[in-house]
Amino acid sequence: MNNNLQIYNTLSRTKEKFEPIVPPHVGMYVCGPTVYGDAHLGHARPAITFDVVFRYLMHIGYKVRYVRNITDVGHLENDADEGEDKIVKKARLESLEPMEVVKLFTDRYHKNMDQLNVLHPSIEPTASGHIIEQIELIKSILNNGYAYEADGSVYFDVEKYNKDYQYGKLSGRKTEDLLENTRILAGQDEKKNSYDFALWKKTDPKHIMQWPSPWSDGYPGWHLECSAMGAKYLGEKFDIHGGGMDLLFPHHESEIAQSNASRGHDPVKYWMHNNMITIGGQKMGKSLNNFITLDEFFSGNQELLTRAYSPMTIRFFILQAHYRSTLDFSNEALQAAEKGMHKLFNTIEIIDKLVPTEKSTIDVRQFESRLYEAMNDDFNTPITIAYLFDLSRLINQVNDGKEKLTKEDISFVKELFAVFIFKVLGLKNESGKNSDLLIDQLMNTILVIRNDAKLNKDWATADRIREDLSKLKINIKDTKDGSEWSFE
Amino acid sequence: MNNNLQIYNTLSRTKEKFEPIVPPHVGMYVCGPTVYGDAHLGHARPAITFDVVFRYLMHIGYKVRYVRNITDVGHLENDADEGEDKIVKKARLESLEPMEVVKLFTDRYHKNMDQLNVLHPSIEPTASGHIIEQIELIKSILNNGYAYEADGSVYFDVEKYNKDYQYGKLSGRKTEDLLENTRILAGQDEKKNSYDFALWKKTDPKHIMQWPSPWSDGYPGWHLECSAMGAKYLGEKFDIHGGGMDLLFPHHESEIAQSNASRGHDPVKYWMHNNMITIGGQKMGKSLNNFITLDEFFSGNQELLTRAYSPMTIRFFILQAHYRSTLDFSNEALQAAEKGMHKLFNTIEIIDKLVPTEKSTIDVRQFESRLYEAMNDDFNTPITIAYLFDLSRLINQVNDGKEKLTKEDISFVKELFAVFIFKVLGLKNESGKNSDLLIDQLMNTILVIRNDAKLNKDWATADRIREDLSKLKINIKDTKDGSEWSFE
């Protein structure tokens, strides 16, 4: 096990040595999508960021249980956690049962994640599937005196909580400031203070998504699901909680509060947050209506895009920035990422063709420790990629005859590239390893054999090959420059 | 809307005219997989059967909400609904959290269904996600006096129920016979009668999958989930309930009982059951240990298989029997199905090449009504396919110049084939465009050439082929039975 991993903990605002609670096990929880629309670039970033965390932790020897949830209920319309449920609203617009919307967009999200080569999490629980666990959590918060009931709804009592704990410890926000910044919204007159947040909301009888509870027929507040499901599958205190920086407040702040209020301690050792993707400096998101869906990137079919970009280009573009930096979208930046990625994949092909020598003139072994140091430094993928580019340049020099490598060093470099590019960064070669290329290559092999047979006047073999290919609906056409092939 | 559809209703044991409760809407519920292992041929049959029902209903104009559940808890080890929960057992064997097993096999099931071109259902609810709904159902059955509590567990009181309703109306079984046939099992001494079934089972505190309830910490009985989820998403009475014939008793019989006991009426208008797949006349299934998984069919990597079969071959094989007939697996039957399917796809290609004439010498228009009649006759896919073969023969005669068709008739036939083969039967053409298959075939071609070279003692050619393939990262291994190849 590699013991030098440092993780930036949002809670302490410093990089800390990573020491899991029960090694070699690591419990990681990441906030997944609210499934009421197609996934866009803003969904790709946390998915890819924590996919690399998941991959790297496994690579250095940890046994990781990775939980990423599906929010299929209870995510309300605006940040203040009031208004109409997003999924119910979409369902009414399209005359669908809410769970039909959930199924449709969950399936599409999964397809996009597969395209981006994001590994499946170990468990993918849904909010609607854990209402009992959320009700139990509300009960214990009420029992401990940190919540109150008002007309069938239950609210978290931030003022009461603040006497014993600190609401704002993660985000650095102060409750005085929150009071001033909170808008007046329907239903909040039930609350003691505007910053109190809903644990349970009573609904009118016509509302589709509702469940019975000790307080009313209704549904749980959004912040509850992660507290309930994280504890259920990873224990009451687990190692890593990840998510986008936009979830830091109020969502993750409230998760900490709910855990302290129910169990008397924080839920998570390391809080990790990926920064936002901007477009012209502005946050990209559904509510701002300036988002580009992943399907649009893959097809190029969107006015902001000059052309299509492959899933791996999106992945590489995201990994070329550190996850805690903002990342600004532009066609130029994506095209530069694509070019860089192709350079790395070209290098992998070049490695196979290098001619080994007796002695190496350059030191490639030093790159192993550099690459691990980069990843150990809070998963610094841009530095990791920069080292891979350095190594790529050296290999091209070897290929040009300017430098030399032994057979052992060539194998070493090949393995290093494979580990970091495929296994850790999770890239795959879209152009090189695909089936169409291999079919081309196999057809070339067959045509060369046939050509040799013809040169040797072995007409029987040449004809047999033509007939065999004909059964596969492949036609061969002999020209003066050689043979061409095509599908029937 | 096509109004001549007849469906065989297991409840009435006759074909009945299909008249949905609220046309043009149709609610259909089908029992999905228990996700504790890989899907086998026995899973493919109900999935494909009801996929065709779903497709045909939509094709003739209905708006179908199709619910297919995932059983992720509560399916006990043996038919008598006692013993250890199947998913918990698997989890313990592999030291996994049960929900990790659920995620793994749900994902694999989805992949197999996509390979078989099975459309996604509209909603795919999980048993563990609907514990509250199941508890509410138990409460109302208890309130109505058709269940009793015993040491924290709740059982359905079949004798009491039989005074007002008829347990056995679906399966035709009589409770007297059931008493004699039920084995004595642990825990059943709590029951008044051995045929009473569990609605709620108390667990010991160490048991992983458990939820709080008014009676004990425990988990719901298996039969409950479909009653609860069917009603939630399709209403308290809906149109079609499907599943394998092995689920008829006790599962579906108990669903009817639960619905009557809680709501005073039957849950379903049309009960549909697909028959079993046998292997040498014996039922194929996990518990009999004679099953072949779908992945094994697709790879050919199983001792009962003489070679690989594509997903569409499996689909066509299943559709060549009526869903209410048993279907016996053999390599010969699969190869015959493959051949037949290829014939149909060849015909589609031939249609494009036909030369139209002024007048038609044959009547192809009659096939439209024949095909609809076949599908309207309880989804009779073998007859549908037989008509497609008849039509295929005629088209080949046109191609051979023995018969003639006008331009309009050619277009008509082309459209008819497309509707029934692609849209209704849900087949797709694999042969032309399947890269992996083609790679296999090209490699076979190359290995045959190389083998001939060796037989001719042309060692230079044999070695050259090996070297060329090695550059493509393909290794050849010579064995006494021939040559094998694999990627590096």
Name which of B67, B96, B99, B213 to mutate to probe chain A: the one with the most chain A Cβ atoms within 10 A of its Cβ: B99
Q: Is the peptide bond before B24 cis (omega within 30 degrees of 0)?
A: yes
Domain that holds residue A312: 294-424
Answer yes or no: do B287 and B222 share one domain.
Answer: no
Per-residue pLDDT at A79 exceeds 50: no
Which has the closest alpha carbon to A374: A416, A311, A327?
A416
Q: What is the pLDDT of residue A481?
A: 65
Q: What are phi and psi of B100, to 5 degrees?
A: -70, -40
What percent of chain A shows pLDDT beyond 70? 90
Averaged pLDDT, A320-340? 95
Answer yes or no: do B284 and B270 share one domain.
Answer: no
pLDDT band at A207 (very low <50, low <70, confident <90, very high): confident
Domain count of chain A?
3
- Give A-chain residues touching B461 at CB under 8 angstroms: 449, 452
Answer yes or no: do A61 and A178 share one domain.
Answer: yes
Q: Is the peptide bond before A212 cis (omega within 30 degrees of 0)?
A: no
Q: Of the residues A243, A274, A305, which one is the last residue of a structural domain?
A: A274
Q: What is the pLDDT of residue A41?
A: 92
Q: What is the pLDDT of residue B147?
A: 98
Q: What is the pLDDT of residues B378-402, one digit of tens each?
A: 999 999 999 999 999 999 999 999 9
- The answer to whether B20 and B88 have CB atoms below 8 angstroms apart is no
Averaged pLDDT, B469-479? 78
Q: What is the pLDDT of residue A185?
A: 53
Q: What is the pLDDT of residue B479?
A: 73
Answer yes or no: do B152 and B248 share one domain.
Answer: yes
Per-residue pLDDT at B432 exceeds 70: no
Q: What is the pLDDT of residue B485?
A: 80
Q: What is the pLDDT of residue B324?
A: 98
- The answer to whether B267 and B278 have CB atoms below 8 angstroms apart is no
More confident residue, B213 or A177: B213
Averaged pLDDT, A377-383? 98
Q: What is the pLDDT of residues B25-47, one digit of tens each?
A: 999 999 999 998 899 999 999 99
What CATH number does the domain containing A162 carry? 3.40.50.620
Contact B442 A446 (CB under 8 A): yes
Q: What is the pLDDT of residues A422-478, one digit of tens each?
A: 999 999 987 544 576 678 778 888 888 888 888 888 888 888 888 888 877 688 888
Which has the closest alpha carbon to B207: B196, B197, B219, B199?
B219
Q: 3-class DSSP state for residue B199? A: strand
Answer yes or no: do A304 and A414 share one domain.
Answer: yes
pLDDT band at B3 (very low <50, low <70, confident <90, very high): confident
Averaged pLDDT, A266-291? 86
Residue A212: which of B107, B132, B471 has the nearest Cβ? B132
Averaged pLDDT, A39-68? 96
pLDDT band at B92 (very low <50, low <70, confident <90, very high): low
pLDDT band at B79 (very low <50, low <70, confident <90, very high): very low
Asked if residue B114 belongs to a domain, the reply is: yes
Contact A439 B436 (CB under 8 A): no
- Give B-chain residues touching A122 at CB under 8 angstroms: 97, 100, 103
Name which of A72, A138, A435, A438 to mutate to probe chain B: the one with the most chain B Cβ atoms within 10 A of its Cβ: A438
Per-residue pLDDT at A188 exceeds 60: no
Q: Is the peptide bond before A24 cis (omega within 30 degrees of 0)?
A: yes
Asked if residue B403 belongs to a domain, the reply is: yes
Average pLDDT of chain B, as a whole number: 89
Averaged pLDDT, A191-220? 90
- Which segment of A33-42, A131-140, A413-422, A446-455 scores lowest on mean pLDDT? A446-455
Rounded CA separation A164/A166 (Å): 7
Per-residue pLDDT at B76 exceeds 50: no
More confident residue, A204 or A148: A148
- The answer to whether A476 and A466 have CB atoms below 8 angstroms apart is yes
Strand partners, B149: B154
Name which of A26, A65, A66, A100 to mutate to probe chain B: the one with the most chain B Cβ atoms within 10 A of its Cβ: A100
Q: What is the pLDDT of residue A286?
A: 64
- Give B-chain residues touching A103 at CB under 8 angstroms: 120-124
Contacts made by residues B294-297, CB under 8 angstroms, sequence distance 24+: B294/B38, B294/B39, B294/B40, B294/B41, B294/B43, B294/B44, B294/B112, B294/B115, B294/B116, B295/B38, B295/B108, B295/B112, B297/B41
Give me the interface pTM, i.e. the ipTM: 0.83
Residues 397-436 of A with CB under 8 A from B: 435-436
Contact B130 A126 (CB under 8 A): no
Asked if residue A310 belongs to a domain, the reply is: yes
Q: Work out the minimum CA distance from B102 to partner chain A, whole angstroms.
A: 8
Rounded CA separation A103/A322 (Å): 33
What's the 3-state SS for B359-400?
CCCCCCCHHHHHHHHHHHECCCHHHHHHHHHHHHHHHHHHHC
A118 to each of A121, A459, B8, how far by Cα in Å?
9, 51, 45
Which has the closest alpha carbon to A118: A322, A319, A374, A417?
A319
Q: What is the pLDDT of residue A439?
A: 80
Asked if residue B1 belongs to a domain, the reply is: no
Rounded CA separation A409/A431 (Å): 26
What proportions of chain A, in percent to the nearest 5, are helix, strand and coil? Answer: 50, 15, 35
Averaged pLDDT, A149-154? 96
pLDDT band at B255 (very low <50, low <70, confident <90, very high): very high
Report yes or no: B249 at the A interface, CB cutoff 8 Å: no
Q: What is the pLDDT of residue B211?
A: 95
Answer yes or no: do B237 and B285 share one domain.
Answer: no
Q: 3-class DSSP state for residue B234? A: helix
Asked if residue A287 belongs to a domain, the reply is: no
Q: Work out the minimum CA distance from A173 to partner chain B, whole angstroms.
A: 35
Asked if residue B330 belongs to a domain, the reply is: yes
Cα B258–chain centre separation: 25
Answer yes or no: do A317 and A411 share one domain.
Answer: yes
Task: Dig out the tokens for B145 from the structure.
Answer: 């006096």
Q: What is the pLDDT of residue B475?
A: 82
Answer yes or no: do B378 and B404 share one domain.
Answer: yes
Could you tell me which chain A residue has the CA closest to the CA of B107? A120
Averaged pLDDT, A356-367? 96
pLDDT band at A81 (very low <50, low <70, confident <90, very high): very low
Answer yes or no: do B269 and B311 share one domain.
Answer: no
pLDDT band at B298 (very low <50, low <70, confident <90, very high): confident
Contact A124 B103 (CB under 8 A): yes
More confident residue, A6 or B279: A6
pLDDT band at B84 (very low <50, low <70, confident <90, very high): low
Q: Which residue shows structure tokens 């021939």?
A: B482
- Which segment of A176-180, B138-142, B193-197 scores lowest on mean pLDDT? A176-180
Where would I find the beta strands (DSSP E) of B34-112?
63-68
Per-residue pLDDT at B288 exceeds 80: no
Q: What is the pLDDT of residue B83?
A: 56
Per-residue pLDDT at B466 exceeds 60: yes
Report yes or no: B114 at the A interface, CB cutoff 8 Å: no
What CATH number does the domain containing B304 carry? 1.10.730
- Give B-chain residues touching A121 at CB under 8 angstroms: 103
Averaged pLDDT, A162-175? 93
Rounded CA separation A332/A344 (Å): 19
Q: What is the pLDDT of residue B323?
A: 98
B423 DSSP assignment: I
Q: What is the pLDDT of residue B460?
A: 86
- Which segment of A102-111, A216-225, A366-375, B68-77 scores lowest on mean pLDDT? B68-77
Answer yes or no: do A103 and A228 share one domain.
Answer: yes
Q: What is the pLDDT of residues A105-131, one digit of tens each?
A: 999 999 999 999 999 999 999 999 999
Asked if residue A286 belongs to a domain, the reply is: no
Q: What is the pLDDT of residue B404?
A: 97
Answer yes or no: do A57 and A194 share one domain.
Answer: yes
User: Model pTM?
Assistant: 0.86
Q: How many CB atoms lie within 10 A of CB A186?
A: 7
Averaged pLDDT, B54-77? 88
Asked if residue B429 belongs to a domain, the reply is: no
Answer yes or no: do B181 and B301 share one domain.
Answer: no
Q: Of the residues B377, B399, B424, which one is the last residue of a structural domain?
A: B424
Residue B472: which of A441, A452, A468 has the nearest Cβ? A441
Q: How many inter-chain contacts (A to B, CB under 8 Å) are there?
A: 104
Name which of A442, A444, A458 to mutate to probe chain B: the one with the most chain B Cβ atoms within 10 A of its Cβ: A442
Rounded CA separation B179/B170 (Å): 18
Q: What is the pLDDT of residues A237-261, one digit of tens each?
A: 999 999 999 999 999 999 999 999 9
**Cα-Cα-Cα-Cα dihedral sign, residues B415, B418, B419, B420:** positive
Q: Of the residues B228, B255, B274, which one is the last residue of a structural domain?
A: B274
